[in-house]
Structure 1
Amino acid sequence: MAEIIIPGPAGRIEARYTEGPEENSPIALVLHTHPKAGGTMQDPVTISLYNLFESRGFSVMRFNFRGVGRSQGQFESGVGELSDAAYVLDYMESLTETPRYCWVAGYSFGAWICLQLLMRRPEIDGFLAVSPPANHYDLSFLAPCPASGLIVSGDNDKIASPQDIERALTKVRVQKGEVISRDVVPGANHFYQNKLDDLTELCAKYLDNSLMKAERERLGEI
Protein backbone atom coordinates (compact mmCIF):
# COMPACT_ATOMS: atom_id res chain seq x y z
CA MET A 1 0.00 0.00 0.00
CA ALA A 2 1.38 3.39 -1.02
CA GLU A 3 0.69 6.77 0.53
CA ILE A 4 0.11 9.21 -2.31
CA ILE A 5 -0.87 12.84 -2.83
CA ILE A 6 -3.15 13.66 -5.77
CA PRO A 7 -3.53 17.23 -7.09
CA GLY A 8 -7.31 17.63 -6.75
CA PRO A 9 -9.91 20.29 -7.58
CA ALA A 10 -9.52 21.97 -4.15
CA GLY A 11 -5.79 21.30 -3.74
CA ARG A 12 -3.96 18.18 -2.71
CA ILE A 13 -5.84 14.99 -1.85
CA GLU A 14 -4.30 12.54 0.61
CA ALA A 15 -4.84 8.93 -0.45
CA ARG A 16 -3.80 5.32 0.04
CA TYR A 17 -3.43 3.06 -2.99
CA THR A 18 -2.71 -0.61 -3.62
CA GLU A 19 -2.02 -1.65 -7.20
CA GLY A 20 -3.58 -4.87 -8.42
CA PRO A 21 -1.43 -7.77 -9.63
CA GLU A 22 -2.45 -7.57 -13.32
CA GLU A 23 -2.35 -4.88 -16.00
CA ASN A 24 -6.12 -5.03 -16.33
CA SER A 25 -6.89 -5.59 -12.64
CA PRO A 26 -10.35 -4.36 -11.64
CA ILE A 27 -10.43 -1.06 -9.76
CA ALA A 28 -12.34 0.01 -6.66
CA LEU A 29 -12.75 3.38 -4.96
CA VAL A 30 -13.74 3.47 -1.26
CA LEU A 31 -15.31 6.58 0.33
CA HIS A 32 -15.31 7.41 4.04
CA THR A 33 -17.97 8.72 6.42
CA HIS A 34 -18.95 12.31 7.26
CA PRO A 35 -15.98 14.70 7.66
CA LYS A 36 -17.84 16.80 10.22
CA ALA A 37 -18.46 13.71 12.36
CA GLY A 38 -14.80 12.79 12.47
CA GLY A 39 -14.86 10.66 9.34
CA THR A 40 -11.53 9.84 7.68
CA MET A 41 -10.13 7.20 5.38
CA GLN A 42 -8.71 5.54 8.52
CA ASP A 43 -12.18 4.58 9.73
CA PRO A 44 -12.37 0.83 10.50
CA VAL A 45 -15.29 0.20 8.13
CA THR A 46 -13.56 2.09 5.31
CA ILE A 47 -10.34 0.14 5.87
CA SER A 48 -12.26 -3.15 5.92
CA LEU A 49 -13.86 -2.38 2.56
CA TYR A 50 -10.46 -1.40 1.19
CA ASN A 51 -8.91 -4.66 2.39
CA LEU A 52 -11.80 -6.64 0.94
CA PHE A 53 -11.17 -5.33 -2.57
CA GLU A 54 -7.40 -5.64 -2.17
CA SER A 55 -7.75 -9.31 -1.23
CA ARG A 56 -9.73 -9.91 -4.45
CA GLY A 57 -6.96 -8.55 -6.68
CA PHE A 58 -8.37 -5.08 -7.24
CA SER A 59 -6.37 -1.92 -7.62
CA VAL A 60 -8.02 -0.06 -4.75
CA MET A 61 -7.88 3.47 -3.40
CA ARG A 62 -9.27 5.32 -0.43
CA PHE A 63 -8.72 9.01 0.26
CA ASN A 64 -9.55 11.85 2.62
CA PHE A 65 -12.23 14.23 1.41
CA ARG A 66 -11.29 17.90 1.19
CA GLY A 67 -10.44 19.43 4.56
CA VAL A 68 -9.72 16.04 6.19
CA GLY A 69 -6.23 14.99 7.24
CA ARG A 70 -3.70 16.34 4.76
CA SER A 71 -6.32 16.96 2.06
CA GLN A 72 -6.72 20.65 1.31
CA GLY A 73 -9.96 22.59 0.99
CA GLN A 74 -13.07 22.88 3.13
CA PHE A 75 -16.16 20.74 3.62
CA GLU A 76 -18.81 21.53 0.99
CA SER A 77 -21.84 19.53 2.14
CA GLY A 78 -21.47 16.87 -0.54
CA VAL A 79 -20.98 18.96 -3.70
CA GLY A 80 -17.23 19.33 -3.34
CA GLU A 81 -16.85 15.82 -1.94
CA LEU A 82 -18.58 14.36 -5.01
CA SER A 83 -16.16 16.36 -7.15
CA ASP A 84 -13.26 14.87 -5.16
CA ALA A 85 -14.57 11.34 -5.71
CA ALA A 86 -15.01 11.86 -9.45
CA TYR A 87 -11.53 13.34 -9.72
CA VAL A 88 -9.93 10.46 -7.83
CA LEU A 89 -11.78 7.93 -9.99
CA ASP A 90 -10.36 9.69 -13.06
CA TYR A 91 -6.91 9.43 -11.49
CA MET A 92 -7.37 5.71 -10.84
CA GLU A 93 -8.45 5.15 -14.43
CA SER A 94 -5.29 6.89 -15.62
CA LEU A 95 -3.26 4.31 -13.67
CA THR A 96 -5.17 1.30 -15.06
CA GLU A 97 -6.31 2.15 -18.59
CA THR A 98 -8.35 -1.01 -19.22
CA PRO A 99 -9.60 -2.28 -15.84
CA ARG A 100 -11.64 -5.46 -16.05
CA TYR A 101 -14.29 -4.02 -13.74
CA CYS A 102 -14.93 -0.77 -11.86
CA TRP A 103 -16.54 -0.74 -8.42
CA VAL A 104 -17.28 1.96 -5.86
CA ALA A 105 -17.98 1.56 -2.16
CA GLY A 106 -18.81 3.90 0.66
CA TYR A 107 -19.79 4.06 4.30
CA SER A 108 -22.48 6.39 5.70
CA PHE A 109 -21.92 9.83 4.12
CA GLY A 110 -19.47 8.07 1.80
CA ALA A 111 -22.25 5.68 0.72
CA TRP A 112 -24.39 8.67 -0.26
CA ILE A 113 -21.51 10.09 -2.32
CA CYS A 114 -20.88 6.61 -3.75
CA LEU A 115 -24.46 6.35 -5.02
CA GLN A 116 -24.32 9.82 -6.57
CA LEU A 117 -21.07 8.98 -8.33
CA LEU A 118 -22.67 5.82 -9.64
CA MET A 119 -25.33 7.89 -11.42
CA ARG A 120 -22.68 10.01 -13.16
CA ARG A 121 -20.20 7.39 -14.28
CA PRO A 122 -21.46 4.74 -16.70
CA GLU A 123 -18.26 2.71 -16.39
CA ILE A 124 -19.12 1.69 -12.81
CA ASP A 125 -20.11 -2.00 -12.76
CA GLY A 126 -21.13 -2.46 -9.11
CA PHE A 127 -21.29 -0.88 -5.68
CA LEU A 128 -21.30 -1.54 -1.95
CA ALA A 129 -23.19 1.10 0.04
CA VAL A 130 -22.87 0.61 3.80
CA SER A 131 -25.40 2.44 6.00
CA PRO A 132 -26.41 5.30 3.70
CA PRO A 133 -28.15 7.86 5.99
CA ALA A 134 -31.48 7.85 4.18
CA ASN A 135 -33.09 9.91 6.94
CA HIS A 136 -30.71 12.79 6.13
CA TYR A 137 -30.30 12.44 2.37
CA ASP A 138 -32.85 11.70 -0.34
CA LEU A 139 -32.04 8.62 -2.44
CA SER A 140 -34.67 9.23 -5.11
CA PHE A 141 -31.93 10.39 -7.50
CA LEU A 142 -31.35 6.67 -8.12
CA ALA A 143 -33.86 6.76 -10.94
CA PRO A 144 -33.06 4.53 -12.63
CA CYS A 145 -30.09 2.99 -10.87
CA PRO A 146 -27.66 2.02 -13.67
CA ALA A 147 -25.79 -0.85 -11.97
CA SER A 148 -26.38 -3.64 -9.51
CA GLY A 149 -25.10 -3.36 -5.97
CA LEU A 150 -25.65 -4.01 -2.30
CA ILE A 151 -27.07 -1.66 0.33
CA VAL A 152 -26.39 -2.99 3.81
CA SER A 153 -27.09 -1.64 7.30
CA GLY A 154 -27.22 -2.75 10.91
CA ASP A 155 -30.59 -3.60 12.43
CA ASN A 156 -29.71 -1.52 15.54
CA ASP A 157 -28.60 1.51 13.53
CA LYS A 158 -30.12 4.68 15.00
CA ILE A 159 -28.47 6.95 12.41
CA ALA A 160 -29.30 5.09 9.20
CA SER A 161 -32.15 2.88 10.29
CA PRO A 162 -33.25 -0.02 8.09
CA GLN A 163 -36.76 1.44 8.06
CA ASP A 164 -35.53 4.74 6.60
CA ILE A 165 -33.53 2.92 3.95
CA GLU A 166 -36.45 0.68 2.98
CA ARG A 167 -38.72 3.72 2.76
CA ALA A 168 -36.23 5.54 0.54
CA LEU A 169 -35.83 2.55 -1.77
CA THR A 170 -39.56 2.48 -2.53
CA LYS A 171 -38.90 5.57 -4.68
CA VAL A 172 -35.95 4.04 -6.50
CA ARG A 173 -36.08 2.39 -9.91
CA VAL A 174 -33.38 0.32 -11.61
CA GLN A 175 -32.45 -0.22 -15.21
CA LYS A 176 -33.49 -3.48 -16.82
CA GLY A 177 -31.29 -6.35 -15.69
CA GLU A 178 -29.89 -4.50 -12.66
CA VAL A 179 -30.79 -5.28 -9.04
CA ILE A 180 -30.25 -3.38 -5.79
CA SER A 181 -29.80 -6.03 -3.13
CA ARG A 182 -30.54 -5.32 0.54
CA ASP A 183 -29.12 -6.98 3.61
CA VAL A 184 -28.93 -6.33 7.34
CA VAL A 185 -26.24 -7.20 9.88
CA PRO A 186 -28.04 -8.51 13.00
CA GLY A 187 -27.18 -6.66 16.20
CA ALA A 188 -25.06 -4.02 14.44
CA ASN A 189 -25.22 -0.29 15.17
CA HIS A 190 -24.10 2.45 12.79
CA PHE A 191 -20.44 1.92 13.69
CA TYR A 192 -20.51 -1.90 13.49
CA GLN A 193 -18.94 -2.22 16.92
CA ASN A 194 -18.17 -5.91 17.48
CA LYS A 195 -19.89 -6.64 14.15
CA LEU A 196 -17.24 -5.55 11.66
CA ASP A 197 -16.34 -9.12 10.74
CA ASP A 198 -20.01 -9.89 10.06
CA LEU A 199 -20.29 -6.85 7.81
CA THR A 200 -17.13 -7.77 5.92
CA GLU A 201 -18.26 -11.36 5.45
CA LEU A 202 -21.61 -10.24 4.08
CA CYS A 203 -20.00 -7.77 1.64
CA ALA A 204 -17.43 -10.37 0.60
CA LYS A 205 -20.13 -12.89 -0.24
CA TYR A 206 -21.96 -10.36 -2.39
CA LEU A 207 -18.78 -9.23 -4.15
CA ASP A 208 -17.61 -12.78 -4.84
CA ASN A 209 -20.98 -13.80 -6.28
CA SER A 210 -21.10 -10.68 -8.44
CA LEU A 211 -17.60 -11.20 -9.80
CA MET A 212 -18.31 -14.86 -10.53
CA LYS A 213 -21.43 -13.91 -12.47
CA ALA A 214 -19.59 -11.16 -14.36
CA GLU A 215 -16.82 -13.58 -15.35
CA ARG A 216 -19.32 -16.14 -16.61
CA GLU A 217 -21.04 -13.43 -18.65
CA ARG A 218 -17.69 -12.28 -20.04
CA LEU A 219 -16.87 -15.83 -21.10
CA GLY A 220 -20.31 -16.29 -22.65
CA GLU A 221 -21.38 -19.01 -20.24
CA ILE A 222 -24.62 -17.21 -19.31
Structure 2
Amino acid sequence: MAERKETWVAQGQAGAVDCVVEWPEGPVQGWALVLHPHPLHGGARDNKVVTTISRTCLAHGLVAVRPNFRGVGASEGSFDHARGETADMLQLVEQFQAAYPQACAGHWVLAGFSFGTSVAAQLYSSLQGARQPDAVLLAGPAVERFRFRDIALPEHTVLIHGEADEVVPLAEAMDFGRAHDLPVTVIPDASHFFHGKLLTLKTLVQLRLRAL
Protein backbone atom coordinates (compact mmCIF):
# COMPACT_ATOMS: atom_id res chain seq x y z
CA MET A 1 0.00 0.00 0.00
CA ALA A 2 1.03 3.59 -0.56
CA GLU A 3 2.11 5.74 2.35
CA ARG A 4 0.82 8.77 0.50
CA LYS A 5 -0.68 9.58 -2.87
CA GLU A 6 -0.42 12.87 -4.66
CA THR A 7 -1.20 14.48 -7.98
CA TRP A 8 1.70 15.80 -10.01
CA VAL A 9 1.44 17.58 -13.35
CA ALA A 10 4.19 17.34 -15.95
CA GLN A 11 4.32 19.44 -19.09
CA GLY A 12 4.30 17.54 -22.37
CA GLN A 13 4.38 18.82 -25.91
CA ALA A 14 0.59 19.18 -25.95
CA GLY A 15 0.28 20.64 -22.45
CA ALA A 16 -0.42 19.20 -19.04
CA VAL A 17 0.20 15.51 -18.31
CA ASP A 18 -1.81 14.60 -15.23
CA CYS A 19 -0.10 12.00 -13.02
CA VAL A 20 -0.68 10.13 -9.80
CA VAL A 21 2.46 9.67 -7.72
CA GLU A 22 2.35 7.08 -4.94
CA TRP A 23 5.03 6.73 -2.28
CA PRO A 24 5.96 3.45 -0.57
CA GLU A 25 5.55 2.94 3.16
CA GLY A 26 9.22 2.11 3.72
CA PRO A 27 12.49 3.57 2.44
CA VAL A 28 12.42 4.68 -1.20
CA GLN A 29 14.43 2.34 -3.42
CA GLY A 30 13.77 4.08 -6.73
CA TRP A 31 10.81 4.76 -8.98
CA ALA A 32 8.57 3.16 -11.59
CA LEU A 33 6.79 4.70 -14.55
CA VAL A 34 3.74 2.60 -15.48
CA LEU A 35 1.91 3.35 -18.75
CA HIS A 36 -1.72 2.58 -19.51
CA PRO A 37 -3.58 1.01 -22.47
CA HIS A 38 -5.23 2.65 -25.50
CA PRO A 39 -6.83 6.02 -24.62
CA LEU A 40 -9.56 5.65 -27.27
CA HIS A 41 -10.69 2.30 -25.87
CA GLY A 42 -11.11 3.27 -22.23
CA GLY A 43 -7.45 3.10 -21.28
CA ALA A 44 -6.47 5.18 -18.26
CA ARG A 45 -4.03 5.15 -15.36
CA ASP A 46 -6.57 3.37 -13.11
CA ASN A 47 -6.70 0.30 -15.36
CA LYS A 48 -6.47 -2.84 -13.20
CA VAL A 49 -3.39 -4.22 -14.96
CA VAL A 50 -1.62 -0.87 -14.55
CA THR A 51 -2.57 -0.64 -10.87
CA THR A 52 -1.49 -4.24 -10.26
CA ILE A 53 1.97 -3.50 -11.66
CA SER A 54 2.10 -0.19 -9.80
CA ARG A 55 1.18 -1.70 -6.42
CA THR A 56 3.76 -4.43 -6.89
CA CYS A 57 6.39 -1.77 -7.51
CA LEU A 58 5.25 0.10 -4.38
CA ALA A 59 5.68 -3.05 -2.33
CA HIS A 60 9.30 -3.15 -3.49
CA GLY A 61 9.98 0.38 -2.30
CA LEU A 62 9.52 2.15 -5.63
CA VAL A 63 7.71 5.44 -6.06
CA ALA A 64 4.98 4.61 -8.59
CA VAL A 65 4.12 7.19 -11.26
CA ARG A 66 0.97 6.64 -13.33
CA PRO A 67 0.30 9.33 -15.96
CA ASN A 68 -2.79 9.74 -18.08
CA PHE A 69 -1.97 10.02 -21.77
CA ARG A 70 -3.20 12.87 -23.95
CA GLY A 71 -6.96 13.44 -23.82
CA VAL A 72 -7.49 11.22 -20.76
CA GLY A 73 -8.68 12.78 -17.50
CA ALA A 74 -7.04 16.16 -16.99
CA SER A 75 -4.23 15.53 -19.48
CA GLU A 76 -4.29 17.93 -22.40
CA GLY A 77 -4.03 17.18 -26.10
CA SER A 78 -5.50 14.41 -28.23
CA PHE A 79 -4.48 10.87 -29.16
CA ASP A 80 -1.36 10.83 -31.35
CA HIS A 81 -0.78 7.13 -32.13
CA ALA A 82 2.17 6.90 -29.67
CA ARG A 83 4.27 9.62 -31.33
CA GLY A 84 3.13 12.50 -29.16
CA GLU A 85 2.67 10.25 -26.16
CA THR A 86 6.29 9.10 -26.38
CA ALA A 87 7.50 12.68 -26.66
CA ASP A 88 5.38 13.61 -23.62
CA MET A 89 6.83 10.75 -21.58
CA LEU A 90 10.36 11.75 -22.51
CA GLN A 91 9.67 15.22 -21.10
CA LEU A 92 7.93 13.71 -18.07
CA VAL A 93 11.00 11.61 -17.24
CA GLU A 94 13.26 14.64 -17.41
CA GLN A 95 10.91 16.70 -15.24
CA PHE A 96 10.33 13.95 -12.67
CA GLN A 97 14.06 13.35 -12.32
CA ALA A 98 14.57 17.07 -11.70
CA ALA A 99 11.67 17.33 -9.25
CA TYR A 100 12.38 14.13 -7.28
CA PRO A 101 16.14 13.50 -7.43
CA GLN A 102 16.15 11.39 -4.26
CA ALA A 103 13.67 8.87 -5.70
CA CYS A 104 15.48 8.83 -9.02
CA ALA A 105 18.83 8.04 -7.38
CA GLY A 106 17.68 4.44 -6.93
CA HIS A 107 16.36 1.87 -9.36
CA TRP A 108 14.23 2.89 -12.33
CA VAL A 109 11.55 0.55 -13.66
CA LEU A 110 9.69 1.25 -16.91
CA ALA A 111 6.47 -0.68 -17.45
CA GLY A 112 3.53 -0.61 -19.81
CA PHE A 113 0.38 -2.50 -20.70
CA SER A 114 -1.00 -2.92 -24.24
CA PHE A 115 -0.74 0.49 -25.99
CA GLY A 116 1.47 1.54 -23.10
CA THR A 117 4.04 -1.06 -24.13
CA SER A 118 4.54 0.70 -27.45
CA VAL A 119 5.11 4.03 -25.74
CA ALA A 120 7.41 2.39 -23.18
CA ALA A 121 9.51 0.61 -25.81
CA GLN A 122 9.89 3.73 -27.91
CA LEU A 123 10.60 5.86 -24.85
CA TYR A 124 13.40 3.47 -23.87
CA SER A 125 14.77 3.66 -27.41
CA SER A 126 14.67 7.48 -27.27
CA LEU A 127 16.80 7.76 -24.12
CA GLN A 128 20.09 8.01 -25.97
CA GLY A 129 22.79 9.57 -23.84
CA ALA A 130 20.52 9.59 -20.79
CA ARG A 131 20.14 7.15 -17.92
CA GLN A 132 18.09 4.16 -19.02
CA PRO A 133 15.73 2.06 -16.89
CA ASP A 134 17.11 -0.85 -14.89
CA ALA A 135 14.11 -2.99 -15.81
CA VAL A 136 11.55 -2.95 -18.63
CA LEU A 137 8.24 -4.78 -18.12
CA LEU A 138 5.82 -5.11 -21.04
CA ALA A 139 2.45 -6.80 -20.44
CA GLY A 140 0.26 -7.67 -23.40
CA PRO A 141 2.84 -6.16 -25.77
CA ALA A 142 1.37 -4.28 -28.71
CA VAL A 143 4.57 -2.48 -29.62
CA GLU A 144 4.46 -3.04 -33.38
CA ARG A 145 0.93 -1.69 -33.76
CA PHE A 146 2.06 1.84 -32.91
CA ARG A 147 5.75 1.74 -33.76
CA PHE A 148 7.13 4.83 -35.52
CA ARG A 149 10.86 4.35 -34.92
CA ASP A 150 13.48 1.66 -34.53
CA ILE A 151 13.26 -0.28 -31.29
CA ALA A 152 16.25 -1.31 -29.18
CA LEU A 153 15.30 -3.08 -25.95
CA PRO A 154 17.65 -4.50 -23.31
CA GLU A 155 18.11 -8.24 -22.97
CA HIS A 156 16.55 -8.11 -19.50
CA THR A 157 13.20 -6.93 -20.91
CA VAL A 158 10.29 -8.97 -19.54
CA LEU A 159 7.44 -9.75 -21.97
CA ILE A 160 4.27 -11.15 -20.37
CA HIS A 161 1.38 -12.30 -22.51
CA GLY A 162 -1.92 -14.10 -22.10
CA GLU A 163 -2.35 -17.36 -23.99
CA ALA A 164 -5.96 -16.45 -24.85
CA ASP A 165 -5.34 -12.75 -25.57
CA GLU A 166 -8.26 -11.66 -27.75
CA VAL A 167 -6.84 -8.21 -28.59
CA VAL A 168 -3.17 -8.95 -29.32
CA PRO A 169 -2.90 -12.57 -30.50
CA LEU A 170 -0.19 -14.65 -28.87
CA ALA A 171 1.44 -15.16 -32.27
CA GLU A 172 1.95 -11.39 -32.54
CA ALA A 173 3.71 -11.27 -29.18
CA MET A 174 5.86 -14.25 -30.16
CA ASP A 175 6.82 -12.55 -33.43
CA PHE A 176 7.86 -9.46 -31.48
CA GLY A 177 9.90 -11.52 -29.02
CA ARG A 178 11.53 -13.42 -31.88
CA ALA A 179 12.44 -10.21 -33.73
CA HIS A 180 14.14 -8.79 -30.64
CA ASP A 181 15.56 -12.04 -29.28
CA LEU A 182 13.49 -11.75 -26.11
CA PRO A 183 11.71 -14.58 -24.27
CA VAL A 184 7.94 -14.34 -23.81
CA THR A 185 6.34 -15.55 -20.58
CA VAL A 186 2.89 -16.91 -21.41
CA ILE A 187 0.15 -17.15 -18.76
CA PRO A 188 -2.12 -20.09 -19.66
CA ASP A 189 -5.74 -19.18 -20.41
CA ALA A 190 -5.16 -15.49 -19.68
CA SER A 191 -7.06 -12.90 -21.70
CA HIS A 192 -5.73 -9.52 -22.78
CA PHE A 193 -6.82 -7.94 -19.50
CA PHE A 194 -5.57 -10.91 -17.44
CA HIS A 195 -9.03 -11.55 -15.97
CA GLY A 196 -8.61 -13.92 -13.01
CA LYS A 197 -4.85 -13.97 -13.59
CA LEU A 198 -3.72 -10.75 -11.93
CA LEU A 199 -2.08 -12.62 -9.05
CA THR A 200 0.01 -14.55 -11.57
CA LEU A 201 0.95 -11.29 -13.28
CA LYS A 202 1.88 -9.82 -9.90
CA THR A 203 4.12 -12.81 -9.14
CA LEU A 204 5.97 -12.44 -12.43
CA VAL A 205 6.54 -8.74 -11.80
CA GLN A 206 7.76 -9.54 -8.28
CA LEU A 207 10.31 -12.00 -9.64
CA ARG A 208 11.80 -9.34 -11.90
CA LEU A 209 11.86 -6.68 -9.18
CA ARG A 210 13.63 -9.02 -6.76
CA ALA A 211 16.45 -9.30 -9.27
CA LEU A 212 17.17 -5.57 -9.25
TM-score by structure 1 length? 0.83
* Identity between Structure 1 and Structure 2 (%): 26
- Cα distance in 2, alignment partners of residues 65 and 82 from structure 1: 10
Larger CA Rg, structure 1 vs 2: 1
**Could you tell me which residue of structure 1 aligns to residue 117 of structure 2?**
111
**Could you tell me which residue of structure 2 aligns to residue 48 of structure 1?**
52
Matched, 1:80 2:84: yes
Check conservation: 1:28, 1:60, Cα contact below 8 A: yes
For residue 184 of structure 2, the aligned residue among 175, 182, 185 is 182
Check conservation: 1:33, 1:40, Cα contact below 8 A: yes
Check conservation: 2:164, 2:192, Cα contact below 8 A: yes
Check conservation: 2:177, 2:184, Cα contact below 8 A: no
Check conservation: 1:32, 1:46, Cα contact below 8 A: yes
Check conservation: 1:64, 1:71, Cα contact below 8 A: yes
- Cα distance in 2, alignment partners of residues 138 and 70 from structure 1: 26
For residue 132 of structure 1, the aligned residue among 131, 141, 149 is 141
Q: 1:132 to 1:26 in 2, by over 3 A?
A: same
Q: 1:22 to 1:90 in 2, by over 3 A?
A: farther
**Could you tell me which residue of structure 2 aligns to residue 171 of structure 1?**
179
**Could you tell me which residue of structure 2 aligns to residue 220 of structure 1?**
none
How big is the shift at 1:139?
9.6
How big is the shift at 1:182?
2.0
Check conservation: 1:131, 1:153, Cα contact below 8 A: yes
How many residues align structurally? Answer: 202
Name the amino acid aligned to 1:150.
V
How big is the shift at 1:3?
1.9
- Cα distance in 2, alignment partners of residues 60 and 17 from structure 1: 6
Q: Which has the higher contact order (CA 8 A, sep 6+)?
A: 2
Check conservation: 2:121, 2:143, Cα contact below 8 A: no
CA RMSD of aligned residues (A): 2.1
Name the amino acid aligned to 2:208.
Y
How big is the shift at 1:92?
2.1
For residue 165 of structure 2, the aligned residue among 139, 152, 157 is 157
Structure 1 unaligned segments of length 5 or more: list them.
174-179, 212-222
Check conservation: 1:141, 1:172, Cα contact below 8 A: no
- Cα distance in 1, alignment partners of residues 38 and 114 from structure 2: 7
**Could you tell me which residue of structure 2 aligns to residue 13 of structure 1?**
17
Of 96-105 and 181-190, the range deviating more from structure 2? 96-105
Matched, 1:96 2:101: yes
For residue 151 of structure 2, the aligned residue among 118, 142, 146 is 142
1:75-130 deviations in Å (ceiling 9; x for gaps) = 11111110121122112211125522211000000011111111122422111000
